[in-house]
Copies of this chain bind each other. A is one copy, B any other.
Amino acid sequence: MARKTGSHSEITGPRIRAAAQHLFARHGYAAVSMRQIAAEVGVQAGALYLYTPDKQSLLADLMRDHLEGLLEAFADLPPASGPEARLDQFARFHIGYHIDRPDAVFIAYMELRNLEPDNFSAIEALRRRYENALEAILRDGRAAGVFAVPDTKLATLALIAMLTGVTNWYREGGRLGRAEVEAIYADMARNAVGSPARVQHTA
Using a CB–CB cutoff of 8 Å, the interface residues on chain A facing chain B are: 26-31, 110, 113-114, 148, 150-151, 154-155, 157-162, 164-166, 168-169, 176, 180-181, 184-185, 187-189, 191-195, 198, 200, 202-203
By DSSP majority rule, is chain A's interface helix, strand, loop, or mixed?
helix
Q: How far is the CB of A59 from chain B (nearest CB, A)?
A: 12
Partner of A200, one of B169, B195, B198, B200: B195
Give the chain B neighbours of A114 by CB distance below 8 A.
27-28, 31
Q: How far is the CB of A142 from chain B (nearest CB, A)?
A: 12
User: A167 — nearest CB in chain B belongs to which residue?
Assistant: B161
Q: Is the CB of A168 within 8 A of B161?
A: yes
Q: How far is the CB of A101 from chain B (nearest CB, A)?
A: 17
Chain B CB count within 10 A is highest, among A26, A27, A165, A203, for A165
Q: How far is the CB of A196 from chain B (nearest CB, A)?
A: 9
Partner of A192, one of B166, B176, B180, B191: B191
Q: How far is the CB of A65 from chain B (nearest CB, A)?
A: 22
Q: Is the CB of B150 within 8 A of A184?
A: yes
Q: Quickly give the copy total for this chain.
A: 2
User: A184 — nearest CB in chain B belongs to which residue?
Assistant: B150
Separation of A190 and B109 alpha carbons in the complex (Å): 27
User: A194 — nearest CB in chain B belongs to which residue?
Assistant: B191
Give the chain B neighbours of A28 by CB distance below 8 A.
28-30, 113-114
Q: How far is the CB of A29 from chain B (nearest CB, A)?
A: 8
Separation of A113 and B161 alpha carbons in the complex (Å): 20
On whether A181 and B154 interact (CB within 8 A), knowing A31-B114, A114-B31, A200-B148, the answer reads yes
Give the chain B neighbours of A110 by CB distance below 8 A.
110
Give the chain B neighbours of A191 by CB distance below 8 A.
191-194
Separation of A113 and B103 alpha carbons in the complex (Å): 13
Separation of A166 and B148 alpha carbons in the complex (Å): 19
